[in-house]
Chain A
Amino acid sequence: MLNKFLLLILLAAFAAQAQAGETAAENYKAYCVQCHGMTGNGKGVNIRDMSVMPRDHTDAKAMSGRSDETLFKVIKEGGPSIEKSVLMPPWDGVLSDEEIKDMVQHLRMLCKCKFGT
């Protein structure tokens, strides 16, 4: 009986972990760095031939001009959703809403800024 109970707890813990997804730092490393750069400065390995440069995530002035909702929207739905470049793709097929919310906070950490400051 006790064993079954323990097994259930373990299974529940495992399921919770599986649902939690990846950390924002890991997601940034996987998907964002290719264009926004290793340090988030907007100078990724892909930019050479781009007609529009990726946002510099360390630029506090530019980043504080965007609300958390706008950042969430552009990550989820891509550049055109906020009238920006098509080169920024939608990540809704890859990241969960929860992971995108975490990513917005990660961006705030990179820019050391908040909206409107």
Chain B
Amino acid sequence: MQLIIKEKINMRRIVFAALLGFSGAALAEGGILQGNCSACHNVTGPAAQTLKDAFAKKGPDLFYAGNKYRQEWLASWLQKPERIRPAGMYYGDHIKAGVKSDEIDTATLKNHVALSKADATKVAHELMELKPHDDLIAKEKIEPGTISKQMGEMAFDKFLGCMACHLIEPEFGGLSGPELYTAAKRLQPEYIASFIRSPQAWEPKSWMPNKHVSDGNIQKIVNYLQVLSKETANAK
């Protein structure tokens, strides 16, 4: 009898030790990020290489988050997430036929979970350590400059056509891409420049085309996005 009890105690110790080891390993590999975020986001890479994989994405890739986002924005957005892509990750899964044109089927869109301040801060910190594309970022030099709102608007609308797919104001522009008027608040300027230069260098199956934008125009866009972000922040 005593022997059986002893064995049971030993068994419990083994299970307990195994559990401890497991959670320790999970934490060491990235805690919340590997556990919860990875259900919808690619946190390890590589990026989708086929359209089939790209269509299946539930959220943006995070494995290069440290090259892409501003940490303070991540920490604040994760506590109060608001939709950035009006038609979701793959717009084709969230549209339906409408009277004048295809429309967003809002019933199919899911909201991002909100995190506590402590968790948001921790996750933002973890994300900023994911930097596999330092090489792409190093190629970009952003020179501070000014651009008038009018010139920027002309570029987005008439010269480059960004507004076809992106909202360039809260109520103006296309819906399949992420909104642009908050881009500079969310993203690092070097990332913006690099992604415009070659979206496919970051995401081989991105819906965004390479418009062969000149160096000069890339600088102007980055500066104009700063103007836009400040303006919408003031308006709110």
Chain A interface residues (CB < 8 Å from chain B) = 22, 26-27, 29-31, 33-35, 37-39, 43-51, 78, 85-94
Contact = CB atoms under 8 A, between A and B. Distances in A.
B209 A43 contact: no
A22 B51 CA distance: 7
A44 B175 CA distance: 10
A22 B50 contact: yes
A44 B205 contact: no
A16 B200 CA distance: 22
Interface in B189-236: 198-200, 205, 207, 209-212
A91 to B, nearest CB: 6
A74 B175 CA distance: 23
Nearest to B168: A49
Contacts of B163: 49-50, 87
Contact of A45 (B54, B102, B209): B102
A46 B174 contact: yes
A85 B97 CA distance: 24
Interface residues of B, number: 37
A94 B101 contact: no
Contacts of B103: 45
B106 to A, nearest CB: 12
A81 to B, nearest CB: 12
B209 A91 contact: yes
Contact of B92 (A29, A35, A88): A29
B84 interface: no
A54 to B, nearest CB: 9
Contact of B101 (A26, A45, A92): A45
Which of A26, A38, A49, A92 has the most chain B CB atoms closer than 10 A to its own CB? Answer: A49
A38 B200 contact: no
Contacts of B173: 49
B102 A87 contact: no
Nearest to A29: B92
B164 A90 contact: no
B205 A37 contact: no
A86 B212 CA distance: 13
17 contacts: A22-B51, A30-B207, A34-B207, A38-B102, A45-B95, A45-B104, A45-B174, A45-B175, A45-B176, A46-B164, A46-B176, A49-B163, A50-B163, A51-B157, A89-B161, A92-B210, A94-B200
B211 A34 contact: no
Contacts of A85: 161
